[in-house]
């Protein structure tokens, strides 16, 4: 049963946004000259887990009828009968309440903003029914991670986590477009919206490439702004940037409008490594800098 719920929320994919949440957390420590707080760190991780679990479960709940008609998604937990639909809704509610409760123990600003964050991550599930911008909304949901982690520590906003948030928005939106290419025909017939449906495969890939270029631009601005605010040059941050860029470029070499056989490799493996490697380089790089 536990395994079914972990599969329901694709728990392993937490790797996409969690490293950037950690980047937001450690950015706040350095910029505001604060000490590591294990309690806040743990609460930030819990917020990530609860918010993402609520979002994924709600998406499966809302899309269960659609998933049951799509050959690619028939095996998911609700269409296959592994988990009852009403239990998924209850799971969503419990995780949402746990998320809000956790923010209460962080600081007042996080608590006040928690319903807004939930509105974004849960609202995404409806967007493909009326707009091709559904990919952007998904990106915004994950892009809240570094900003939220920074606010959890500092209790205020800063341009650095905003740049990291914009990085994640463009990065996630870009690779979600690639992933959505698998369902272009089905979505079109079902009356659902996506950039592949709107633009077609070739132009959708070009749109994705543009978003990934913007992602790299914002990541460079985040690195630069962080260095300026802390007064240090961090070589590993820029090495992480280069690796992140290479993996994004490699991702686009794996897929084409006529060959989607490597989409899962591009989506899951490449992006997971990109996020994890940059996050590690950023955190480790804090201890290896040049004045």
Query: What pLDDT is attached to residue 77?
Result: 84
Please state, as a whole number, how many other Cβ atoms lie within 10 Å of the Cβ of residue 157: 12
Residue 241 belongs to a domain? yes
Is residue 148 assigned to a domain?
A: yes
How far does CA 180 lie from the centroid of its chain?
15
Residues 6+ away with beta carbon under 8 Å from 265:
254
| Pick from 161, 163, 274: nearest CA to 218 | 163
Q: For residue 3, what pLDDT is reported?
A: 74
One digit per residue, the tens of pLDDT, for the chain of length 291 reads 677 666 676 665 667 789 999 999 999 999 999 999 999 999 999 999 999 999 999 999 999 999 889 888 888 888 888 889 999 999 999 999 999 999 999 999 999 999 999 999 999 999 999 999 999 999 999 999 999 999 999 999 999 999 999 999 999 999 999 999 999 999 999 999 999 999 998 999 999 999 999 999 999 999 999 999 999 999 999 999 999 999 999 999 888 877 777 877 777 778 889 999 999 999 999 988 765
Is residue 291 in a domain?
no
* Sign of the torsion formed by the C-alpha atoms of 179, 185, 190 and 195: positive
On whether residue 205 sits in a domain, the answer given is: yes
CA distance 162 to 181: 29
pTM reported for the whole predicted model? 0.94
Round to whole Å and give the CA distance between 121 and 118.
Answer: 5
8 Å CB contact between 266 and 178 = yes
pLDDT score recorded for residue 12: 58
Task: Please state at what angle helix 159-180 crosses helix 201-230, rounded to 10 degrees.
Answer: 160
Domain carrying residue 144: 2-285
Q: Indicate the number of domains in the chain.
A: 1
Look at residue 75 and tell me if it is in a domain.
Answer: yes
The neighbouring-strand residues paired with 233 are 290
Residue 6 CA to residue 281 CA, distance in Å, equals 28
Compute φ and ψ for 256, nearest 5 degrees: -150, 160
Asked, for residue 290, whether it belongs to a domain, the answer is no
- Residue 229, in any domain of the structure: yes
State the residue for tokens 């928005």. 169
CATH number, residue 174: 1.10.357.140
Q: Considering the domain boundaries, does residue 115 fall inside one? A: yes
């Amino acid at each position: 049963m536990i395994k079914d719920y972990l599969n329901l929320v694709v728990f392993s994919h937490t790797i996409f946004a969690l490293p950037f949440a950690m980047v937001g957390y450690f950015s706040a420590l350095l910029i505001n000259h604060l000490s590591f707080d294990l309690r806040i760190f743990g609460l930030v991780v819990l917020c990530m887990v609860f918010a993402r679990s609520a979002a994924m479960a709600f998406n499966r709940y809302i899309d269960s009828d659609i998933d049951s008609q799509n050959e690619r998604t028939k095996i998911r937990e609700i269409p296959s009968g592994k988990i009852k639909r009403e239990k998924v809704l209850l799971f969503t509610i419990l995780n949402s309440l746990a998320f809000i409760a956790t923010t209460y123990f962080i600081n007042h600003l996080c608590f006040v903003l928690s319903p807004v964050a939930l509105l974004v991550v849960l609202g995404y599930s409806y967007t493909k029914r009326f707009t091709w911008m559904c990919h952007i909304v998904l990106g915004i949901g994950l892009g809240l991670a570094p900003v939220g982690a920074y606010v959890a520590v500092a209790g205020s906003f800063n341009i650095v986590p905003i740049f990291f948030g914009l990085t994640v928005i463009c990065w996630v939106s870009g690779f979600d477009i690639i992933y959505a290419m698998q369902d272009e025909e089905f979505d079109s017939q079902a009356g659902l919206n996506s950039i592949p449906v709107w633009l077609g495969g070739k132009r959708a890939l070009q749109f994705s490439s543009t978003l990934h270029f913007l992602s790299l631009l914002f990541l460079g601005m985040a690195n630069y702004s962080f260095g300026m605010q802390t007064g240090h040059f961090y070589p590993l941050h820029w090495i992480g940037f280069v690796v992140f860029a290479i993996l994004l470029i490699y991702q686009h070499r794996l897929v084409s409008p006529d060959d989607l056989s490597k989409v899962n490799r591009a989506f899951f493996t490449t992006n997971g490594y990109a996020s994890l490697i940059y996050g590690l380089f950023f955190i480790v790089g804090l201890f290896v800098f040049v004045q």
